[in-house]
Structure 1
Amino acid sequence: MTSQSGASAPLEKLPLETYVPPAKPSLIGLSRAEIADRLGEIGVAPSQRKMRSQQLWHWMYFRGAENFAEMTSISKDMRAELEQHFTVDRPEVVAEQISNDGTRKWLLRLPSGDKLERPHEVECVYIPETDRGTLCVSSQVGCTLNCSFCHTGTQRLVRNLTAGEIVGQVMVARDRLNDWADREDGTRRVTNVVMMGMGEPLYNFDAVRDALLIVADNEGIGISRRRITLSTSGVVPNIKRTGEEIGVMLAISLHAVRDELRNELVPLNRKYPIAELLQACRDYPGASNARRITFEYVMLKGVNDSLDDAKLLVKMLKGIHAKINLIPFNPWPGTAYECSDWDQIEKFSEYIFNAGYSSPVRTPRGRDILAACGQLKSETEKLSVRERQALRAMAMTD
């Protein structure tokens, strides 16, 4: 199948904008040491900074406090000082859609200090199941990559998210689901986090790393690293760093077993071909039979779903602690791809399973609200020149 655009897609997009922080910055997304530094900037004595940082950490990430007034173990004067200089704001929920299957999709607006641009927005999805609740989190506004089968890939890359904006998605989900430490039944609704939303996480490595370390911290949000999965299209230089510096589960968006086809489906393959990607997986720190790497494989009718493809997939994964997650293609407006027939998906899965690999077929969730895998796309757009000029004119008259 030829590229839908008729020409080779570029490997990567450059961000259109940079992050402009709000006038009053949020403490969300900062490490304990960074919080202590911020406290020092507003005059908190060195002897108190560690203790105050720990208090703030507990209230933000364990109790889910939405403002400083709720932090009753901190003195009233200190709370007033914090309120004057900082916030603990999350992204704003602009819209919530609930699927027939219980999946929830939130459109989140991000705080910004740039008054000349429309606020940026991302999507975040919660998928409830009988034994878990998985939150699909975004790492970029838009996406660096141009994967031809993915709706998000058709969107421009506006900018990377900050660590606070990534952690903020988890906090919004806990807010909306009443999922903080004071739940009466003591259970958790968000048990798993997957970095599989908008964007390529490994092209925003530092922010993703800092955010996931906060999410995994036992004294805060406390989601085990074994329940956090980072999915990448194959940014090879940062795969090893992911294992060493974050230590979460790894998923690879593979989708093809031949470089010629993967070059089309995942243009990044032209930079990091399959052999190089698989070697990085073999070298992934901590990989074992108990911590297998997931290879995601979208099933595209007549494109990558033959038994020959299945046979080559098994052959190429030899020696890697792996499982294969088969994903029925989720259609989106304007795509030319179709989902493989169910009989073919079952034959493909059966061959892989008989070869000794786990090969579950992912149940499509949230298709009716465009919340399924590959369907996310926010409506963030830059202002037109005319709109920007009008805003500047208004600002000059204030």
Structure 2
Amino acid sequence: MPNLVRIAPGALTIGKPLPWTVFDADGNVLLRQGYVIQNDIQLEQLFERGLFQPRKIERPQDEILEDTRVLNPFSEYPLLLQTLESTLNAITRREESALKRVLGLSRMIDQMCQESPEASLALVHLYSIEPTIHEQILFYAILCQFTARRFGLDDKRIAVLISAALTANLALVPVADKLNASNRVLTDDQRAVIRKHPARSIQALKDADITSPILLKIIAQHHEQADGSGYPQGLSGTDIRGEAEILALAERYVAMITRRAYRERMNVVEARKLITSLANGKFRPAIPRALLTVLTEYPPGTLVRLANNEVAVIVRRPHRHRGPFAKAIIGPRGNRYNGTFERDCSLLEFNVRAIEQPEVMPSMDFGLLWGFR
């Protein structure tokens, strides 16, 4: 059968029907369109052996627009996730718009982080209880933007890094949510999928004509470690690009503050301690220092209990020798305030007494805390 091509990682998902019939290299039918993939082993076999006949999907050019508005991270959140999903789908379908979509989304995230830095960091911390894989990828990109700027990378390198953060885990998209929801020890097949995901993501990008050498190298190296214990090549020291280490650290931090079926999430104080320990061998020290400087002791979006027993949300990091600022949302007796009250946490009565880590975040329009209407 003519025009058969390899199945790209990210194109198939466990529990969802096949979008097309899958063939082997000789053109024999392996599985017919509509078959629901049952497990990791089937998914692995399809990635290894499966071929399909792609349909060319024409999309109007005006679908991809430049956005010149000041972006409210909270109101844009659903759009960002939808755009990320459609961008990754465009890569796996080898659409002509794939590169343009990646670059457009990268610019949107960079713009948002520059215009609304406190709210953008808060987005990561307020929505990190049990995020989907697409949410996690968005958080990686946001943290990479901030860490890279603090580390001193120029605009061009930051743009490539954000694009790498958005695409490096493309091959894990079909299985990540299932793995995070499982409290069982990983099987050998699941470990193989994880270890192969950098190479498979790279291949999917190449198939979609996204071939930036730096972008692909960041993805290839983002699970290497400075002490040589990483994969796939066991690189060490300066053989690993700084951008790859920044992406790796962003992924680690999100994993720390995220709840998984097999463990509870850390609070930001615990996560900071672990990041500090990673500077001694796993990463070159300047990169963890850059992330810790960005986060500060209490990052925006952290829920805290104040000395007066109010519960507040950190809205601004320390600035010009003044401590972090918060907005109180719950009174000392547990009553929800009608509105919010700004608190300077450098004042004794509003000092941070403890981190609050609720199982469910309070229901409110968080954008209001940062002045968005």
User: TM-score, length-normalised on structure 1?
Assistant: 0.29
* Higher share of residues assigned helix: 2
Tell me: higher relative CO, structure 1 or 2? Use CA pairs within 8 A at least 6 residues apart: 1
